Amino acid sequence: MSYIIRRMQERDIPQALEIDREAFPTQWPHPSYSSFKQELRNRLACYIVVAEPKEPTLSEQVTDNKTLWQKFLRLFDHNHFFGEETSQSSKEYIIAIAGFWIMVDEAHITTLAIRNAYRRRGIGEWLLIQIIEMAAQFKANVVTLEARVSNREAQALYEKYGFHKVGIRRAYYTDNGEDAVIMTTDSLTSRNFQAHFQNLKQTHQHRWEELYASEKTKVA
């Protein structure tokens, strides 16, 4: 299976909304198209997706052939408008999303969500690895986040990667008034953190060798 990790684009928003609602069904309010669009324009925010290329349907193949013919005709008639090209998003199935903000020397994770059918495949951990590496590239010193106090599975993953519980935000989640636990890493540049992180990354690559073998990353 071939996967691509890349920056989120506006064409991905409809699928990103589907993933968010599936992963966080009780969350309120849900993100909207306009709020996602605003985030993509925010120079302090970074959103990425994991995309799975999909085989085009017969109708999409016909559309693609039509588009190629239109391009050919356009060479001889620049004043005629034949419509937009087929959107690349129709050729990709977005299976996971993640986002974070850069605030001074801190990268704050705002979301990490995967379609239910793709859970237990190492993709969530893969995204977390990507976020930590991007945060370091952006010169962030630490990575922080909030997690529901009841979400032990997520907390276990974060703790595995060196996140520590440093506080509680009372009634943080508006859907049910649940508290959020605040978690943060040690300095990303510390020798201990990097040694631990690189060891975990190698272990993940070994376990999910097939995933990495077909990996294509476009997040620059």
Which residues are known to be catalytic?
146, 158
Specify the 3-state DSSP secondary structure of 112.
Answer: strand
- The SS3 of residue 219 is coil
Which residue's entry shows tokens 């990268």?
A: 107
- State how far the alpha carbon of 111 is from the alpha carbons of 49, 146, 147, 194, 201, in Å: 11, 9, 10, 23, 21
Cβ distance 131 to 100 under 8 Å?
Answer: yes
> What's the CA gap between 108 and 120, in Å, rounded?
24
